[in-house]
Amino acid sequence: MRSLEQDVPTRIRTIQGLVASTGAITSGTGFSILKTGTGVYVIYFLPRFRYLLGLSMALTAGGIIVVAGTTFLAESVTVNTYNNAAASTDQGFNFVARGVAA
């Protein structure tokens, strides 16, 4: 049985990057970074994902990382980094984002 919509192959895209505590991109392509405050970074996916399927992040040093973003039209995610005392601090991080291309 077929649907009435045209069959379109799924285009999965992966973006990975390493970001310095200053907000500078150390490695990776397909994204830009805007540092908006102490420990606050916005990752813009270029071009955006249609759907963000998964996002994995880690700090390059000890501490806490919190991520917030859209769930369907994944243009960007906001990353907040904290030290172990839960104070906002500038910290480097790496990420891998995987989603359906727009």
Q: Report whether pLDDT(26) > 50.
A: yes
Q: What percent of the chain has pLDDT over 90?
A: 54
pLDDT of residue 8: 54
pLDDT surpassing 50 at residue 3: no
pLDDT at 2: 46
Q: What is the mean pLDDT of residues 35-52?
A: 92
Phi and psi of 82, rounded to 5°? -135, 155
Q: Say if CB 46 and CB 31 are below 8 A apart.
A: yes
Read off the pLDDT band of 70 (50, 70, 90). Answer: low
Tell which residue, 70, 69, 71, 63, has the closest CA to residue 93.
Answer: 63
Question: CA torsion, points 57, 94, 34, 82, in degrees to nearest 10?
Answer: 60
pTM: 0.84
CB 28 within 8 Å of CB 17:
yes
Q: Tell whether the model's pLDDT for residue 1 goes beyond 50.
A: no
Give pLDDT, residue 20. Answer: 97
